[in-house]
Amino acid sequence: MSDQTTLRVDVIATTRFSAPADVPWSTDADGGQALAEFAGRACYRSWDKPKAATATNAGYLRHVIEVGHLSVLEHAQVTLYIRGVSRSVTHELIRHRHLSYSQLSQRHVIDDPAFVVPQPVNGDDELGGLFERAAATARAAYDELIEGIGQRLAGSEGATRSKRARQAAQALLPAARATEIVVTGNLRAWRQLIATHGSDHADDELRELAVACLQRLREVEPNAFADFLLTDLPDGRRIASSALVTEG
């Protein structure tokens, strides 16, 4: 039977911001969202906050998002440590070129493969049993290949032999194999990820990841993601959407 894993997303780094002492401006926020406001106001020297609707950081960023001037959000970054996702999802995730990635190496990390069970399968006895049997078969074959390849390469140098064996054997493992990845992105890039994959049209696991990322990002930069709405669908899935214009 395969080991199962659960999704976990942790914030491990955020932007630190300090306004110059000689600039006559302050705000009611900090971190990346304060930096985004500073960058926007620097374009017009609107340090005195001439409009009441944008006098707060929340109001200012809401206006930025509404009119689509999202370049100011690119100055601030958040880094997330994501665990319990499948290789299938990270293959989709890395298509977002404005994010930066450092992923667990299957070639160097030696452990028993764990698998992420797809949502339509999880909770169904028949489908779950089929998935478990297939995963167990793949893992058994993986173990046999590791041993067999190691024997075949017995004349090779030790460290190289073990790495080559793992590298060859891992090609057999399914895309459901669990992995870990560190992802860094600016606030605009994170918004784009959530807007693209938070809907009910997205892949189930990627949608769940997008929603989890949104929840963590709101903990540290709430005003930059305040327009997103979380909705629970009748089938139990949760989606994220925004009614505001997000690109311009």
The 10s digit of each residue's pLDDT in 47-65 is 999 999 999 999 999 999 9
Which of 164, 139, 140 shows the shortest CA–CA distance to 151? Answer: 164
Strands 3-4, 228-232: pairing kind: unpaired
Mean pLDDT throughout 154-158? 69
- Domain extents for the chain? 10-79+180-242, 120-174
Task: Report pLDDT for 113.
Answer: 76
Determine the pLDDT at residue 89: 96
Give the global pTM: 0.90
Say yes or no to pLDDT of 165 above 70. yes
Q: Give every CB contact of residue 48 below 8 A, 6+ residues apart in sequence.
A: 24, 25
231 with 144: CB under 8 angstroms? no
Q: Rounded distance, CA 173 to CA 117, Å?
A: 14
What is the overall mean pLDDT for the chain?
91
Q: Is 10-79+180-242 in CATH node 3.30.1360.170? A: yes
Query: What's the confidence (pLDDT) of residue 230?
Result: 97
Report how far residue 196's alpha carbon sits from residue 213's, in angstroms, rounded to the nearest whole number: 13
With 70 as the cut, is the pLDDT of residue 4 above it?
no
